[in-house]
Chains A and B, each alone.
Chain A
Amino acid sequence: MTDQEILSGLAEIIEEIAGTPADEVTPEANFVDDLDIDSLSMVEIAVAAQDKFGVEIPDEQLKDLKTVQDVVNFVSKNS
């Protein structure tokens, strides 16, 4: 899976969970500051990402994933 594929998959997930239009989900976007996504929505995104990409994102890792690119990198590295 390319980073671009992960990014578009992640954008779909974020749109579904947080209602954020997919085109606003840019790599540099910060979940809290730019996308207004709280800690519980981050858990939902992590669970959906696990279903979609087959990569588990534990709670301990989740707090370090601040931007969309952080998640893309994590998935890319662990898939």
Chain B
Amino acid sequence: MSELTGAKILGFGGYQPDKVVTNDDLAKIVETNDEWIRSRVGIQSRRIAGDDETVADMAEAAGAKALAASGLEPSEVDLVIVATCSTEVPLPNAAATVAHRLGIEAPGAFDLNAACAGFCYALGSAADSVRAGSAQNVLVIGAEKMSAWVDWTDRSTCIIFADGAGAAVVGRTEPGEPAGVGPVVWGSAGDLAQKITIKGGRNGALTQDGQAVFRWATTAMAPVALEACRRAGVTPADISAFVPHQANLRIIEAIAKRLGIPRDRVADDIISAGNTSSASIPLALSRMAEQGRLQPGTPALLIGFGAGLSYASQVITVP
């Protein structure tokens, strides 16, 4: 990666709730079946949070693991960003609570809502804060309880969304060390805002125009990812791991195909995690790291996209 100074990722962490919901389980509550779900979205099972389990609870669990992986003490973190679009209440934010529970004293703390693109937005903001000197070390978390915002009688959405959290710690590079987080390429398409919405207000449920979102994601996202590669000074052929938002396996495969990235380098965490919105990228990264599927020191390409519509992409160096 070319020598824009500054930030690198020190470690990942992930958390999934205990409760496993299979496609057969869903077939008992809505008109669907395992084969249909696998062929349409590629999901085999997903995790759903307990009734009392909050976004902050899951964020804390993932954040603790990422902190441990980073080797930092909580006192060394001075900014906490939680990307989420599914908190129980709009205030207080999750970030301050999570920071307090993790023993991080009086950090900057804010939640960020860019829906499924949230983690890449938060990571970009974290890296820029480190580069600018506004923060030394940043805990970035994507955490979602999408199950609370899904209509469990709507088979077009309840089969897709799930709960979980993923996190990364971003710190400074050593003098002379190449950058570990490339420039973020971010943007939005507000003209398509109504394609993914919560209908019905406060007690409403997520609805989406599946075909329109599919067309947008499979055509408009590959050029964004290519631009992220260009700005980081790499090509798709250099990418050791492609970790797009785990929206739908067919979207993932379509974008990877356009980029010419071989299937074995592409994250497919959606198969057992479902679509966890802003949590999906760091959750996939943490699992791939655990499984030894990430090669330290090599470039990985991330891209998040979803409601807004909004999107963000960057290249990172695997820690």
Interface residues of A (CB under 8 A from B): 38-40, 42-44, 46-47, 59, 62
Q: Is the CB of A59 within 8 A of B211?
A: yes
Give B315 Cβ to nearest chain A Cβ, in Å: 26
Q: Which of A39, A47, A62 contacts B219 (CB 8 A)?
A: A47
Q: Is the CB of A43 within 8 A of B211?
A: yes
Give B76 Cβ to nearest chain A Cβ, in Å: 46
| Smallest CB gap from A40: residue in B | B214
Contacts of A40 in B (CB 8 A): 40, 210-211, 214, 250
Inter-chain residue pair count (beta carbon < 8 A): 25
Known: A39-B210, A40-B250, A44-B254. A59 touches B40 (CB 8 A): no
| Smallest CB gap from B250: residue in A | A40
Q: Is the CB of A43 within 8 A of B215?
A: yes
In chain B between 196 and 233, which residues have their CB closer than 8 angstroms to a CB of chain A? 209-212, 214-215, 218-219
Known: A40-B40, A47-B219. A62 touches B254 (CB 8 A): no
Besides A40-B250, A43-B215, A59-B212, 14 new A-B residue pairs in contact (Cβ under 8 A), listed by A number: A38-B39, A38-B40, A39-B210, A39-B211, A40-B40, A40-B210, A42-B211, A43-B214, A46-B215, A47-B215, A47-B218, A47-B219, A59-B209, A59-B215
Q: How many angstroms from the CA of A38 to the CA of B210 in the assembled complex?
A: 12
Q: Is the CB of A43 within 8 A of B39?
A: no
B interface majority secondary structure: helix
A interface majority secondary structure: helix
Contacts of B250 in A (CB 8 A): 40
Give B215 Cβ to nearest chain A Cβ, in Å: 5
Q: How many angstroms from the CA of A62 to the CA of B40 in the assembled complex?
A: 18
Q: How many angstroms from the CA of A47 to the CA of B210 in the assembled complex?
A: 15
| Smallest CB gap from B36: residue in A | A38
Give B263 Cβ to nearest chain A Cβ, in Å: 16
Give A4 Cβ to nearest chain B Cβ, in Å: 28
Give B97 Cβ to nearest chain A Cβ, in Å: 39
Contacts of B209 in A (CB 8 A): 59
- List 21 interface pairs A-B (beta carbons < 8 Å), by A numbering: A38-B40, A39-B210, A39-B211, A40-B40, A40-B210, A40-B211, A40-B214, A40-B250, A43-B211, A43-B214, A43-B215, A43-B218, A44-B218, A46-B215, A47-B218, A47-B219, A59-B209, A59-B211, A59-B212, A59-B215, A62-B211
Give B6 Cβ to nearest chain A Cβ, in Å: 38
| Smallest CB gap from B254: residue in A | A44
Q: How many angstroms from the CA of A62 to the CA of B209 in the assembled complex?
A: 14
Q: How many angstroms from the CA of A46 to the CA of B216 in the assembled complex?
A: 12
Contacts of B212 in A (CB 8 A): 59
| Smallest CB gap from A59: residue in B | B211
Give A31 Cβ to nearest chain B Cβ, in Å: 14
Give B317 Cβ to nearest chain A Cβ, in Å: 33
Q: How many angstroms from the CA of A59 to the CA of B210 in the assembled complex?
A: 10
| Smallest CB gap from A47: residue in B | B219
Q: What 3 pairs between A and B have smallest CB-CB spacing?
A: A43-B215, A59-B211, A43-B214
Contacts of A42 in B (CB 8 A): 211
